[in-house]
């Protein structure tokens, strides 16, 4: 929650990842496993919220927040981008998340790596702006079939997204360039961390999802300019 407070204070949009607990509570957490951030070697979707709430993040006093807590805190002050994690134990997450977002009084968009998740949101909630996450996945460890299905937005025709979020080290990419130039789809780059990546994103993308605020400040101060940014 401290990171969200910092983003709101800077006026940056916020990108989050959401998952379902075993008892169907929507929480904000990136990894499938809790190990890296909490030291507990369990899958998040196999724990009830009351169990999860007792854990602390990276040795701090901060707990794993719920999507509801996050929405109440942001309260429309900055736009938000919600990545829906469709993993084991997450059945029905699209419906639950989108229902909460439609009741939220603020700007938001939804994105997912899973083409069927994007398709479900598009068909059920056509008024929600929805994007497809992808990458070349050249250096990422994924099951072969999963990687082949989602790399380079190959299942774009199933998802039919409103925008593309593409991994920064996968640029340049002719396929994504085609989506942007011929279809007019906005393209975001993730996760931008260095000055070189900021400059590359400026050539191939419309916006960035970034870490390391100091690099962005240095880029702005250099006079190179920047798009509105996602924190």
CATH number at residue 191: 3.20.20.190
Domain that holds residue 227: 113-231
State residue 147's pLDDT score: 44
60 within domain boundaries: no
Residue-wise pLDDT for 59-70, tens only, equals: 999 999 999 999
Decide if pLDDT at 178 tops 90. yes
State residue 88's pLDDT score: 80
Residue 100: closest CA among 128, 139, 140, 64? 128
155 within domain boundaries: yes
If you average pLDDT over residues 9-29, what whole number do you get?
96
State residue 159's pLDDT score: 87
93 within domain boundaries: no
CA dist 217 and 219 (Å) reads 5
If you average pLDDT over residues 127-153, what whole number do you get?
67
Cα–Cα–Cα angle for 77, 81, 82, rounded to 5 degrees:
120
The rounded mean pLDDT for the chain is 88
Number of independent structural domains in the chain: 1
CA dist 199 and 192 (Å) reads 10
Report if pTM > 0.85: yes
Residue 230: closest CA among 199, 179, 188? 188
Decide if pLDDT at 151 tops 60. no
Q: Which region, left, alpha or beta, applies to residue 152 given φ > 0 means left and ψ of -120 to 50 means alpha?
A: left
**Is omega for the bond preceding 150 within 30 degrees of 0, making it cis?**
no
State residue 17's pLDDT score: 98
71 within domain boundaries: no
If you average pLDDT over residues 80-98, what whole number do you get?
91
101 within domain boundaries: no
106 within domain boundaries: no
If you average pLDDT over residues 220-227, what whole number do you get?
59
181 within domain boundaries: yes
Decide if pLDDT at 74 tops 80. yes
28 within domain boundaries: no
């Amino acid at each position: 929650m401290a990171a969200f407070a910092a983003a709101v204070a800077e006026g940056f949009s916020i990108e989050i990842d959401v998952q379902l607990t075993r008892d169907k509570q929507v929480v904000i957490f990136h990894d499938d496993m809790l190990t890296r951030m909490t030291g507990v070697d369990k899958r998040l979707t196999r724990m009830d919220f009351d169990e999860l709430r007792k854990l602390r993040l990276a040795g701090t006093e901060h707990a794993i927040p719920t999507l509801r807590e996050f929405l109440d805190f942001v309260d429309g002050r900055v736009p938000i981008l919600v990545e829906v994690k469709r993993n084991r134990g997450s059945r029905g997450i699209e419906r639950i998340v989108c229902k909460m977002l439609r009741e939220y009084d603020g700007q938001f968009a939804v994105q997912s790596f899973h083409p069927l998740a994007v398709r479900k949101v598009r068909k059920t909630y056509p008024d929600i702006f929805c994007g497809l996450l992808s990458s070349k996945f050249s250096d990422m460890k994924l099951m072969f079939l999963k990687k082949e299905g989602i790399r380079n937005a190959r299942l774009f025709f199933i998802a039919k997204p409103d925008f593309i979020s593409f991994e920064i080290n996968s640029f340049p990419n002719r396929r994504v360039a085609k989506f942007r130039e011929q279809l007019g789809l906005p393209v975001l780059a993730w996760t931008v961390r260095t000055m070189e990546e900021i400059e590359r994103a400026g050539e191939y993308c419309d916006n960035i999802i970034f870490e390391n605020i100091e690099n962005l400040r240095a880029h702005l101060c250099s006079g190179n300019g920047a798009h509105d940014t996602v924190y």
